[in-house]
Amino acid sequence: MSAVIMAAMAASAQAQQPGSPERGLRFARQVCSECHLVVKETGRSTNPTAPAFEAIARTPGMTSVALSVALQTSHRTMPNIVIAADDLRDVTAYILSLKERD
């Protein structure tokens, strides 16, 4: 196989790797918790315009792709934060894990 094809296959495999909810929680606590309620508990986000992560997870139609796009898109009420690919996968996995927890 050519080097280009092998590199493309490796990049595709890496892009499809699931994130780590545990690492995503650590990232969320460090970066997102200033505004969002990042853990599943009764309460509100410190910023009233920032939805709780559980509410985001339970949004109808929320998928990892939709969440990844949302996290990389500018919002009027959210600062533009550059998120590394690994952190993006991890925080996405964490947020979506809140949908399943009770």
Confidence of residue 100 (pLDDT cuts 50, 70, 90): confident
Cβ atoms within 10 Å of 71's Cβ, excluding its own: 18
Q: What is the pLDDT of residues 38-70, one digit of tens each?
A: 998 888 898 989 999 999 999 999 999 999 998
Q: Where are the domains of the chain?
A: 20-97
Q: What is the reported pLDDT for 16? A: 57
- What long-range pairs does 25-32 form, CB within 8 A, spacing at least 24? 25/94, 27/87, 27/90, 27/91, 27/94, 28/53, 28/91, 28/94, 28/95, 31/81, 32/91
pLDDT band at 84 (very low <50, low <70, confident <90, very high): very high
Q: Would you tell me how many other CB atoms lie within 10 Å of the CB of residue 95?
A: 26
Q: Count Cβ atoms within 10 A of the Cβ of residue 57 and give its class: 0-12 exposed, 13-18 middle, 19 or more buried.
A: buried
- Class of CATH domain 20-97: mainly alpha
What confidence category does residue 6 fall into, taking pLDDT thresholds of 50, 70 and 90? very low
Q: Is the pLDDT of residue 79 over 50?
A: yes
Which residue carries 């590199």 as its tokens?
7
Residue 10 clears pLDDT 50, i.e. is over it: no
Please state the pTM of the whole predicted model: 0.78
9, pLDDT greater than 80: no
